[in-house]
Amino acid sequence: MLALVVLAACRSATTAPAPGPAVDRAAVWLAAFPPDQLRFDAAIGLSQIVRKADSEPARRAYAAARARADRDDDSPLRRIFDDTARVPAGAINRWTVPGPGQPRANVNRPVAEALHCDEHGLRPEVLAYLGGPMRDGGGYETAHALWALVLARDHGCLDGAQFAAVAGPLVDELRAAQPATPPPAVLAVDLYAERLLMLVLAGERDAAIATWATALIRAQRADGSFGVLGPSDPPYFQFHATLASAWALAEWASSRPVER
């Protein structure tokens, strides 16, 4: 029986698609996207793809995205791809933190505060918001809340125990919301990829993560993109879904053990 289990595991590892080629195909597609339709967040994702899975198409795509992002030279999120970027405290920590039952704040506000927490701090009420009212049952809000916690941890504002205490329920929430395979609709694929990305950035590594990554690879379209646009969906939805998918797979690939 043990021999059969080991054999099955070996076959699964052999037949699972590798993430590298999927990221490379996505980079080719991203590099061909019309530059005049790019948005600021393209530079964020592509900077991380180049860092984790460098290639000539990824560099071309990032160059186009940076040209667009450099028009917003005062964005607090620039620090993700330009560590020299700094902002005054008032640019990130004067927003009012919503309470339970109130409309949620723009997701960029807590993310930006966490990104600069090593210089300007992370308010206790923001930390409470990330672990509480910001959550939305495993959707985009929960995913961005976890990202903010990851940034705060990575910038030395939360130690391991503090991070685990606040992030643990968010990790569980994202895991519970993740379907076995990504639906075809472009926004559904986008959210699937964002859940996977934030879980990997948080340090999650297990069979479920590998299964979701493999399912995402298998959902890639023949042209390298991810997701099916609906009749009224803007083309950037597909760019973002492909960006999030490639970034998630690049992060996951860089964290996998080297196969021998």
Residues 160-208: tens digit of each pLDDT: 999 999 999 999 999 999 999 999 999 999 999 999 999 999 999 999 9
Mean pLDDT across the chain: 93
Q: What distance in Å separates the CA atoms of residue 25 and residue 223, rounded to the nearest whole number?
A: 8
In this structure, is residue 67 part of a structural domain? no
Percent of the chain with pLDDT over 70: 92
**Where does the pLDDT of residue 16 fall: very low under 50, low under 70, confident under 90, or very high at 90 and above?**
confident
In this structure, is residue 98 part of a structural domain? yes
The residue segments making up the domain with residue 150 are: 87-167
Q: What distance in Å separates the CA atoms of residue 33 and residue 153, rounded to the nearest whole number?
A: 34
**Where does the pLDDT of residue 257 fall: very low under 50, low under 70, confident under 90, or very high at 90 and above?**
low
In this structure, is residue 142 part of a structural domain? yes
Predicted TM-score of the model (pTM): 0.92
In this structure, is residue 64 part of a structural domain? no
Query: Average pLDDT of 35-44?
Result: 98
> What pLDDT, on a 0 to 100 scale, did the predictor assign at position 183?
96
Cross-strand partners of 228? 185
Domain count, the chain: 1
Q: What distance in Å separates the CA atoms of residue 148 and residue 220, rounded to the nearest whole number?
A: 28
In this structure, is residue 107 part of a structural domain? yes
Q: Which residue has the higher pLDDT, 6 or 179?
A: 179
Q: What is the DSSP letter of 185?
A: B
Q: What distance in Å separates the CA atoms of residue 126 and residue 104, rounded to the nearest whole number?
A: 12
Give CA angle at 41 (39, 42), nearest 5°: 70
> What pLDDT, on a 0 to 100 scale, did the predictor assign at position 256?
67
